[in-house]
Structure formats: structure tokens, C-alpha cells
Amino acid sequence: MPSVEELLTRIRDNLRSDRFLLRNYTYNEALEVQELDKHDKLKKTETKEFEVFPSTVDELHYRRLVKKDGKPVGEKKLREQDRKHQKKVAKAAKKARKRGVASDSEMEAGEEEALLKEQRSVEEVFRLFEFKVVGREDIDGRSALVVDFSPRPEYKVKVKDVKRLKKVAGRAWVDEDDYQLVRVEAETIGTLRIGLGVIAKLNKGASLVFQRRKVNDEIWLPAEASFSGRGRILVFKGFRFYATSRYYDHKKFTVDSSVAFPSEPSEEKPESGKSDKEGLLPGSSRSLLMAPAALDPGNPRVPTRVGRCLEEERRRGASYRILD
């Protein structure tokens, strides 16, 4: 069994390499939130579906709401979401360029800035927690090391985004072959302030479960997550909720020079079996990008690597598709 130091080093290295593979993927998220009353009886249920476009860092991770309570989101609201995300990218890019970061695209500059911020947070997390390897277990037929973690009570957190984690403890499962986080079970060990658009507190005992799955034999992506807790908004309204997310339809972007993709709309009727919506990705039932914006590497919906590939390949008339 590896030492804690060796284990943490391997996990840290894999976190860095995963960020770059992550840019090549997209997937869907189905979220269900149940609100309970003070007697733990169901008050209401809300469902949402997102198209998820991961970034190398969480700050530029894009969850695009496409359906709410079973009803599709209108085109106007979709465009509003895209604009807000692009503003976030532009803000990060501006900071990066002020520091002298050179890049070919706004998205790439923004990711460089956000990556620097995230690296500080990751290093602080490893300093905050005390880790202990307590055994081995099988998860989905793979051997995993079981690691308990708890905050060091005497440690003074220096990174603002990490401070709330001082009220969290739990257990993690690390794949023994890949040294990747497979599952995390955590709970709050004290009252935790959270951001819900208002001042809110989450009581001790709230729980989080998060699981990942290996995709295409190269990257670990989210599979399922659940979160439950009891708390209070301001000083008068108590709440209890249970939320679950299921992640599915993981797909990988790649350039495919054999597939024609017109940059201008065609007035001709589509052939049988082909989509009449410009920009529908071959091999996919979702129209994620609309031409001619689909060939624009600055489009906020296009992961950075895809933008660079499109920029290099479109001169040769290439297009792209999504790999299942």
C-alpha cells in the first residue's frame, strides 16, 4: 500500500493532466431537487437538464440549461446564457493579458488565468486536510484505496474559496491502477455558510456523495452526485432538501476532415436522413453549435482545444463530429 505522500502526489499530478483531457468532452446533466417541509414531507420537486461544457478549471465550467421541469428552454434564454458565459471568459482573459499571458484565443487566455487561481486552491486543500489510508475496496470491479480526510484544526486557511471546506470531513476512494478519485462521501462537521443568492446556513450533518466513471479508457468523468441537508435562510426560514444529479451522454470532440460542414446556410432541402437544422453535429441528436458560429474558435460553446482545431482545419474545408 502506498504512503500518504506518494498517494497525494499521484492524485495531484493526475488532476493536472485531467484538466487538458477534460476540454475535449461534453456531457449532459439531469438534476432533480426535492424540497421538504419541517416534518420531512415533500413540498415540491424541480427538475433541470443541462448541456455541460467542461473547462480546464471549474471557474469557466459551463452548464447550459436546456430544459426545466420537462419544458425546453427558449432560444432567447439560451442566447442570454451564452452571452453571460462569454463575459465571464472575457473577464478572465483580460486579467490574464494584464499579467502578460499570450494566447491565440480569448477562451485560452481566460483558462490560463482561472487555472492559476485553481492551482492555488488545490494546493491549499492538500495543506488543509489530514489524510489517512484505511484499506481497500472494490468499486465497479476495480480495486480502490480507501482514504479518510479531515481538516487540521490548527491550520489557518489562506485561500478564500477553501475556507468553507474547514467544516467538511469524509472518505474518498482512489482507483489503485489510475490513482484517480472514484468516489467521495463527505459531510459538514459544523454550520456552513453557503451561497443561495441570499445569506444561508447549512447545518451540521449535511451530506454529499459524488462518483466518477472512466470514459473511453482515458479520463474519469462525473457519473452521479447527491446532496442533502437542513439549514436556514436569513434568520427565519428553515429548509431541507435532497438533490441528485445524473451525468450521461459523455461525448468526445474530434476534427473529422471527411465530413462536409457548410459555413453558410443552404436553401436546398436536406436529403433523406439528414438534419434540416444547420449545425447539427453528425452522430448526435443535439444541435450544440449553429453555423457559421460553429466554425468560430471564439464561440463560447466550443471547448478551447476544439476551437484551435477548427481554426487550423477549416482552411482545408474540414468539419467536426462528436464521438460517442
Q: To the nearest whole percent, how much of the chain has pLDDT over 70?
A: 67
pLDDT at 60 over 70: yes
Q: How high is the pLDDT of residue 311?
A: 45
> Model confidence at 21, in pLDDT bands (50, 70, 90)?
confident
pTM of the entire predicted model: 0.69
What pLDDT, on the 0 to 100 scale, is given for residue 45? 93
**CA trace torsion 159, 160, 164, 169 (10° rounding):** -10
Whole-angstrom Cα distance, residue 115 to residue 186?
25
pLDDT band at 52 (very low <50, low <70, confident <90, very high): very high
Break the chain down into helix, strand, coil percent, rounded to 5.
30, 40, 30
> What grid cell was written down for 101?
499571458
| Residue 62, beta-bridge partner list | 53
**Cell 425546453 belongs to which residue?**
72
Weakest-pLDDT range from 48-52, 123-127, 239-243, 244-248? 239-243
- Determine the Cα–Cα distance for residues 230 and 238; give it in Å rounded to an integer: 8
Mean pLDDT, the chain, whole residue set: 75
Return phi, psi of residue 118, to 5°.
Answer: -70, -35
Question: 10 Å Cβ neighbour count for 146?
Answer: 16
The segment with the largest mean pLDDT, out of 39-43, 122-126, 172-176, 313-317, is: 172-176
Question: Which residues 6+ apart lie within 8 Å of 267 measured at CB?
Answer: none
pLDDT recorded at residue 110? 64
* Burial group, residue 296, by CB count within 10 angstroms (0-12, 13-18, 19+): middle
Q: Is 280 helix (H, G, I), strand (E, B) or coil?
A: coil
Confidence of residue 113 (pLDDT cuts 50, 70, 90): low
Higher confidence at residue 19 or residue 65? 65
pLDDT of residue 191: 86
Cα 6 to its chain centre, rounded Å, is 27
Average pLDDT of 114-126?
Answer: 82
Q: Are the CB atoms for 168 and 189 separated by under 8 Å? A: yes
Q: How confident is the model at residue 22 (pLDDT cuts 50, 70, 90)?
A: confident
Q: What is the largest CA-CA distance in the chain?
A: 70
pLDDT, tens digit, 9 for 90 and up, residues 250-281: 988 754 323 333 333 344 444 444 433 333 33
Would you list the DSSP string of 209-241?
A: EEEEEEETTTEEEEEEEEEEEEEEETTTEEEEE
β-bridge partners, 276: none
| CA 214/CA 180 separation, integer angstroms | 9
Determine the pLDDT at residue 296.
Answer: 38
Per DSSP, 117 falls in state: H
Quick one: how far is CA 164 from the chain centroid? 20
- Residue 161 has a pLDDT of 83
